[in-house]
Amino acid sequence: MTAPPTILKLGGSVLTEKTDTPTPKLAAIRRCAREIASTISRTSPVGAGGPLIIIHGAGSFGHPQAKEHRTPAGFTNFGIIEIHRAVASLNDLVIEALVKNGVPAASLHPFGCLVAENGRIAEMETDQIGMMLARGIVPVLHGDVVMDRETGASIVSGDQLATYLAVRFKAARVGLGTAVDGVLADGAVIPLITRANFESVRSHVQGSEGTDVTGGMLGKVLELLAIEIDINSYIFNASKEDVIAGFLAGDEPGTRVAQG
Amino acid sequence: MTAPPTILKLGGSVLTEKTDTPTPKLAAIRRCAREIASTISRTSPVGAGGPLIIIHGAGSFGHPQAKEHRTPAGFTNFGIIEIHRAVASLNDLVIEALVKNGVPAASLHPFGCLVAENGRIAEMETDQIGMMLARGIVPVLHGDVVMDRETGASIVSGDQLATYLAVRFKAARVGLGTAVDGVLADGAVIPLITRANFESVRSHVQGSEGTDVTGGMLGKVLELLAIEIDINSYIFNASKEDVIAGFLAGDEPGTRVAQG
C-alpha cells in the first residue's frame, strides 16, 4: 500500500496570463517546477512529502475557448477538440518544465480517462494513477473538456479533479495554489473555513477575477467542503515564491478548509 | 445505438522514417489525413463508412526509445515518460493533419486510459470512446507505454489496441495499414488467411523489417486471428496512394484475415 498522496493544484491564473488567447507565464511555470523539484529527490521513488499528484487549471488555454464554443446545444465537435488541444498544450509546457527539473512527471488528460454526468465526474480510470504513485511517477492532470452523459460534453475543473482524487486516494493533504493569499474577508486571509463557520464567511468569499468558467473562489471552497472524508485542504498563493515548496514541506499556508 | 465503427490502424512505418531518432514522414501523414478526410463529411456526424476509430503505430517515435529504456528490471520512470512523450508528439502531428483536413479527430493516449497485465490490455476506460463515436468525433489512439500490473510498465501495440477495440465496439471492419502490400508469400500477396489455413502459410509470414518491438507481420496476423468475434480484417499497403481511401469506401485491399 502506497502512502497517502499529496494533491497540489496550480491555478490557471498562476501559470497563464488572463488574456483572450493562450499565453503562458513561462517564468512562473519554471519557478513552480523548481519548487516542486526541490521537494522530490530524483533518486528516491517518492518525494519528501510522499507520493504527489499535480493538477493544473486551464487559464487562457481553456476558459476563453470554452466560452467561445459554448452554444445553447452544447459544444460542437470541433469546439471540444479545440478546447482540449489548447489545454493539452499548456500541459505540455508544465510537463516539460517538471521533467527538465528532475520531476518524473507524466501527463494524464481527463478527456481521455473519464466520463462526466452534468459536469461532475461519473467514472474515471484511476488504477494507472495508483500504479504511478506506487513507483514515484507524478501524474499531472488538468482542467479539461470531457464527454458527458447528459450534456454531450462538459468542462471538469482542476478543482473538481483535486477533490475527486483526494477521496479516491485518501489524500494526506490537498493544496489549491491560486494567485491570491487565500480566501479573503475585507482583505485579510480567513485562517480556517469549516462547514460550521461557512455560512458566516460566505458573503465575504468572492469569485476569482477574470475569465473563469469553473466557479472562482467560492467554487473552490464549496468543492473542498464537499469532500466526504476528513482531509485538510489549503487555499494559498502559489504566485508567491516558496509557498508551494513550503506547502509540500508541511507548512499550512493561506486558508485551511476542513470538513469538521 | 451507434453503427459499428470501422477501425483503421496506420503503421509506424507508414508515418515515420525508420531511424534512431523521431523522424516523421510529414508528406505521408498529410496524405493519409487527406484520404481519411475524403471519406468524412464535415457536416455529417458520421463518415461514409460510419463511425471511425484511428490508431497509429509509434515507428521512430517509440521503438528506439523503448529499446533504449528496456532494462532487465523493466522501464525506469524517466524511460516511461520519455517513451510516452515521444509517441504523443507523433500523435500531435497526426491530429493536426487530420483536423486541418476537416476530420474531427481527438487524441486518446493509452497511457492515460488503460492498465495492462503482462503486456496485454487488462482494463480500459472506453465509455468516452463510445460517446465520441456516437456524435462523430474520431478518436485517435496509438501504440504506447502503459502501466502494467505484472511488469510495472509495458508496451501496448497499435495492433493490440485495434483488435481490443474491434471486440469492444463490434467493429464493422478492421484495416491495418502497413508499408507492404499485405501478407506476402514468395513476393505475392496471400489473399486470405483464416485459422484453417494459417499453419500452411505461417512459414511464409515474415516479421516486418527495421526496428519493431511489437511483433511485426506475424504479430499482426496472430492478433487478428485471435479476435473472438467474426470481423473481417485487412492488412494492406497504406503507403500507396488511395488504398486507405479505398478501404474506407468498402474496398478489400491486401490480405483479408478472417476467423472462420
The model's pLDDT over B51-109, given as tens digits with 9 standing for 90+, comes to 999 999 999 999 999 999 988 889 999 999 999 999 999 999 999 999 999 999 999 99
Q: Given a cut of 80, is residue B212 above it in pLDDT?
A: no
Handedness of CA B128, B44, A81, B78 (dihedral sign): positive
B113-151 per-position pLDDT tens digit: 999 999 999 999 999 999 999 999 999 999 999 999 999
B129: three-class secondary structure by DSSP: helix
Whether B147 contacts A148, CB under 8 Å: no
Beta strands B6-10 and B173-178: pairing type? parallel
The rounded distance, in Å, linking the Cα atoms of A99 and A105 is: 6
Our CA-based measurement puts residue B80 at a distance from the nearest CA of chain A, in whole angstroms, of: 9
Alpha helix locations (H) across chain A?
12-15, 26-37, 63-69, 77-100, 110-113, 127-135, 158-168, 198-202, 216-225, 243-249
Q: What are the structural domains of chain A?
A: 6-258 (3.40.1160.10)
**Record: contact A115-B106, CB cut-off 8 A:** no
Residue identified by cell 522501464 is B75
Chain B residue with Cα closest to A151: B131
CB distance from B124 to chain A under 8 Å?
A: yes
Confidence of residue B217 (pLDDT cuts 50, 70, 90): confident
Instruction: Determine whether the interchain pair A104/B115 forms a contact, defined as Cβ–Cβ distance below 8 Å.
Output: no
Which residues fall within 8 angstroms of residue B185, CB to CB, at 6 or more apart? B201, B204, B205
Record the pTM: 0.94
Q: Please tell me the number of Cα atoms within 13 Å of B20 on its side-chain side.
A: 1
Q: ipTM of the predicted structure?
A: 0.93
Residue A42 has pLDDT above 90, yes or no: no
Q: What is the largest CA-CA distance in chain B?
A: 51
What would the grid cell of residue A170 be? 485518501
Q: Which residues pair with A107 in a beta bridge?
A: A140
Q: How far is B207 from chain A (nearest CA, A)?
A: 31
Q: How confident is the model at residue B47 (pLDDT cuts 50, 70, 90)?
A: low
Each residue's pLDDT tens digit, A208-243:
444 455 568 888 999 999 998 889 999 999 999 999
List chain B residues with CB under 8 Å of A107: 84-85, 88, 109, 111-112
Sign for the CA dihedral angle at B243, B245, B251, B252 comes to positive
- Give the cell for residue B75: 522501464
**Cβ contact A107–B104 (<8 Å):** no
The CA–CA distances, whole Å, from B148 to B1, B114, B117 equal 32, 9, 5
Q: Is A150 on the interface with B (CB under 8 A)?
A: no
